[in-house]
Amino acid sequence: MNLIIDVGNSYVKLAVFKDSELLEKRVVLLKAVEDEIDVLAKHYLDLDNVIISSVGNLDKLTIKSISKRFNVLFLDSNTKLPFKNLYSTPKTLGVDRIALVSGSIKQFSEKNVLIIDAGTCVTYDFINSNNEYLGGAISPGINMRYKALNNFTAKLPLLDKEMPKNIIGNSTEASIHSGVVFGFLKEIEGVIKCYKMKYSDLTVILTGGDAKFLSKQLKSSIFANPNFLLEGLDYILQFNSNE
């Protein structure tokens, strides 16, 4: 069994996989990660291999404790990957993007794939049918756009995201929702269109925290998978365990 540890600034995602199947997923506070790992280890006795993503946010004692108990792979730019990385600055490529591209190899090997991760930022990552990663784009996410309107103006309020009922906003709040959400959707649709002009057989995957919010508004040909990053991390762990 594999344990995935995806470390954020304040929270950690823990996921247990067996033979590529996600058995359990938890989101915990950074300070509680060791206690939660203890709980999972007692429940899943065959838990032995671990991958840690974004290791920089874990303290040294926690890392040492985990390393004593499990076979640990620390994901970084030197990790062996199941694809050819043609990014011109590979050491600056985020581990989250590495995981997403690896997930696409697992499910859509030898296909042209665009992965859209709609989280704090929205990232676009493209891998071609030769399993070559070419790069992509980074843009502000939905919540970041709402916050920017509030932070960089004197009077615009900070709103929670909401699907607009009409393209024409008949109030300040409705106008903000229309501008942010429809603007975001049109950006995604426009990026997909540009890629499809060059790669007609394109497979598109939508993931990230806002995937569910957006998926109903986008075309059904897009594969929505909120756990795609975790699945990619599991595949990287499998790939290195089989070396």
Please answer whether residues 118 and 217 qualify as being in contact, where contact means their C-beta atoms are separated by less than 8 angstroms. Answer: no
Please answer whether residues 97 and 78 qualify as being in contact, where contact means their C-beta atoms are separated by less than 8 angstroms. Answer: no
Who contacts 30 (Cβ-Cβ below 8 Å, separation ≥6)? Answer: 7, 8, 9, 10, 11, 12, 57, 58
Q: Would you give the DSSP letter of residue 55?
A: G
69 is in an annotated binding site: no
204 is in an annotated binding site: no
13 is in an annotated binding site: yes
89 is in an annotated binding site: no
150 is in an annotated binding site: no
What's the longest Cα–Cα distance across the chain? 60
76 is in an annotated binding site: no
- Beta strand 2-7 pairing with 49-53: parallel
Interaxial angle between packed helices 183-198 and 142-151, expressed in degrees from 0 to 180 and rounded to the nearest 10: 130
12 is in an annotated binding site: yes
List beta partners, residue 86.
none
Helix (H) or strand (E) holding 102: helix 95-108
95 is in an annotated binding site: yes
Instruction: State how far the Cα of 124 lies from the Cα of 136, in Å rounded to an integer.
Output: 5
135 is in an annotated binding site: no
9 is in an annotated binding site: yes
6 is in an annotated binding site: yes
CA nearest to 231, candidates 70, 89, 63, 105: 105
112 is in an annotated binding site: no
87 is in an annotated binding site: yes
Instruction: State how far the Cα of 79 lies from the Cα of 5, in Å rounded to an integer.
Output: 16
Q: Is 96 a catalytic residue?
A: yes
Task: Name the catalytic one among 48, 76, 96, 234.
Answer: 96
Query: 178 is written with which tokens?
Result: 């229309």
- Beta strand 113-118 pairing with 121-127: antiparallel
Residues making up the binding site for substrate? 87, 94-97, 172
Annotated binding residues for ATP, written as ranges, equal 6-13, 120
Residues annotated within a binding site for K(+): 117
Which residues have a catalytic role annotated? Answer: 96
